[in-house]
């Protein structure tokens, strides 16, 4: 079976590798253009391109595939049986969807129809989902609205970050893809219509997505911290500086040495000890265990307090740095 692969970031590499390792004929890879990276602004190739070049697979990098008919014609000339897409990053028009003989299969990082959109993994964590998974689907013109094919579920532990889940899901997506293609080859693959009434949307994560509102519940803030790690990070203000929170712990029971009062504002530091920073939230207390203030290193709150002001009674988020 001849496969045309479209993908860009690290998340897509395991699926491309699985195709290669399972002996599929990969006739071409379409990925995003090289982009400036780091402080030197040197151009960096997408991870998918790096894998393709290392394995002598032809690479196409249209700035906008929908506006480059000569690239579309070149892809059509490859006569793929199936196009596989995984985090490609561009919307496909009908002329591109019509190229492969058996259609375009997308690897989506959620249990559709939940979390259609650009950031399903992050929003599943932010929203406190107990499980998520991979759905393979036939792509149509809509936003993740095509017929579903196979699903594989995975649990989301309470302390798992979006970054950790991302890496597990990338490998799961590769396994689900191979099962989907084998079912297509042996004629057992079934199409399942999505119930649009059950659909939810997972919009793109922005830099300000991680801004902490301390009036929300401890569980909501804990999930925001997990869901925005490693990027863009959950943050709050600390005496005019920006404090990023890398890790937290959420408990349904209040520690005995913490005293709560209705007069304390959400974001108030209730205590600082070897366990971390105890902060009042909208419904209780959240323990912050790892922080990073402005350009400093990641450290425990206790370590930071050795050389900086971090005291009981301070209110996080007040006089906040932009």
Q: Distance between alpha carbon 105 and the CA centroid of its chain, in Å?
A: 20
Instruction: Report if residue 317 sits inside a domain.
Output: no
Q: Looking at the structure, tell me whether residues 146 and 88 fall in a common domain.
A: yes
Q: Looking at the structure, tell me whether residues 214 and 191 fall in a common domain.
A: no
Q: Looking at the structure, tell me whether residues 143 and 273 fall in a common domain.
A: no
pLDDT the model gives residue 319: 63
Domain finish residue from 202, 225, 247: 202
pLDDT the model gives residue 322: 44
Number of domains the chain is built from: 2
Domain finish residue from 185, 202, 219: 202
pLDDT the model gives residue 320: 63
Strands 104-108 and 131-138: antiparallel
pLDDT in tens, 264-301: 999 999 999 999 999 999 999 999 999 999 989 999 99
Cα 35 to Cα 43: distance, rounded to the nearest angstrom: 5
Task: Please state, in angstroms and as integers, the Cα–Cα distance from residue 6 to each residue in 46, 89, 183, 281, 289, following that order.
Answer: 12, 9, 21, 44, 40
Q: Looking at the structure, tell me whether residues 12 and 144 fall in a common domain.
A: yes
pLDDT the model gives residue 237: 97
Q: Pick the closest to residue 251 from 276, 219, 212 (CA basis).
A: 219
Compute the residue count for the chain.
Answer: 322
Percent residues over pLDDT 70 in the chain: 98
In DSSP terms, which residues pair with 117 in a beta bridge? 202
Q: Looking at the structure, tell me whether residues 196 and 183 fall in a common domain.
A: yes
Instruction: Report if residue 314 sits inside a domain.
Output: no
For residue 305, pLDDT over 50 is answered with yes
Q: Looking at the structure, tell me whether residues 178 and 256 fall in a common domain.
A: no
Q: Looking at the structure, tell me whether residues 142 and 220 fall in a common domain.
A: no
Q: Looking at the structure, tell me whether residues 191 and 215 fall in a common domain.
A: no
Instruction: Report if residue 275 sits inside a domain.
Output: yes
pLDDT the model gives residue 214: 98
Q: Where is pLDDT greater, at 320 or 59?
A: 59
pLDDT the model gives residue 160: 98
Instruction: Report if residue 190 sits inside a domain.
Output: yes
pLDDT in tens, 102-117: 999 999 999 999 999 9
For residue 321, pLDDT over 70 is answered with no
Q: Looking at the structure, tell me whether residues 115 and 233 fall in a common domain.
A: no
How many Cβ atoms are within 10 Å of 162's Cβ, its own excluded?
24
For the domain that residue 85 is a member of, what is the CATH number? 3.40.50.170
Instruction: Report if residue 318 sits inside a domain.
Output: no
Q: Looking at the structure, tell me whether residues 89 and 198 fall in a common domain.
A: yes
With cut-offs at 50, 70 and 90, classify the pLDDT of residue 255: confident
Q: Looking at the structure, tell me whether residues 188 and 211 fall in a common domain.
A: no
Instruction: Report if residue 234 sits inside a domain.
Output: yes
pLDDT in tens, 172-204: 999 999 999 999 999 999 999 999 999 999 999
Q: Looking at the structure, tell me whether residues 158 and 295 fall in a common domain.
A: no
pLDDT in tens, 127-157: 999 999 999 999 999 899 999 999 999 999 9
Instruction: Report if residue 316 sits inside a domain.
Output: no
* Start-to-end CA span in the chain (Å): 52
Instruction: Report if residue 165 sits inside a domain.
Output: yes
pLDDT in tens, 35-72: 998 777 789 999 999 999 999 999 999 999 999 999 99
For the domain that residue 297 is a member of, what is the CATH number? 3.10.25.10
pLDDT averaged over every residue in the chain: 95
Cα 219 to Cα 221: distance, rounded to the nearest angstrom: 6
Which residue range(s) make up the domain with 55?
2-202
């Amino acid at each position: 079976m001849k496969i045309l692969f479209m993908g860009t970031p690290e998340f897509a590499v395991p699926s491309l590798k699985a195709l290669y390792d399972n002996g599929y004929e990969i006739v071409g890879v379409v990925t995003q253009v090289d982009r400036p990276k780091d402080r030197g602004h040197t151009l960096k190739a997408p991870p998918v391109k790096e894998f393709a070049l290392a394995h002598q697979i032809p690479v196409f990098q249209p700035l906008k595939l929908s506006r480059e008919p000569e690239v579309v014609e070149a892809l059509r000339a490859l006569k793929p049986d199936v196009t596989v897409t995984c985090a490609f990053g561009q919307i496909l028009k009908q002329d591109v969807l019509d190229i492969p003989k058996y259609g375009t299969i997308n690897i989506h990082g959620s249990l559709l129809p939940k979390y259609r959109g650009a950031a399903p993994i992050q929003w599943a964590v932010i929203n406190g989902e107990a499980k998520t998974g991979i759905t393979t689907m036939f792509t149509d013109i809509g936003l993740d609205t095509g017929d579903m094919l196979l699903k594989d579920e995975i649990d989301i532990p309470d302390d798992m970050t979006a970054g950790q889940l991302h890496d597990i899901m990338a490998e799961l997506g590769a396994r689900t893809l191979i099962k989907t293609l084998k079912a297509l080859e042996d004629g057992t693959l079934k199409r399942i219509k999505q119930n649009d009434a059950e659909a939810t949307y997972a919009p793109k994560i922005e830099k300000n997505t991680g801004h902490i509102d301390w009036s929300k519940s401890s569980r909501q803030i804990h999930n925001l911290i997990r869901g925005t790690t490693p990027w863009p990070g959950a943050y709050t203000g600390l005496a005019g500086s920006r404090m990023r929170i890398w890790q937290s712990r959420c408990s349904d029971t209040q520690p005995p040495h913490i005293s709560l009062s209705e007069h304390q504002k959400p974001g108030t530091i209730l205590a600082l000890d070897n366990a971390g920073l105890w902060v009042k939230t909208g419904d209780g207390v959240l323990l912050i265990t790892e922080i990073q203030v402005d350009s400093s290193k990641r450290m425990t709150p206790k370590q930071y307090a050795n050389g900086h002001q971090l005291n009981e009674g301070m209110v996080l988020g007040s006089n906040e740095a932009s």
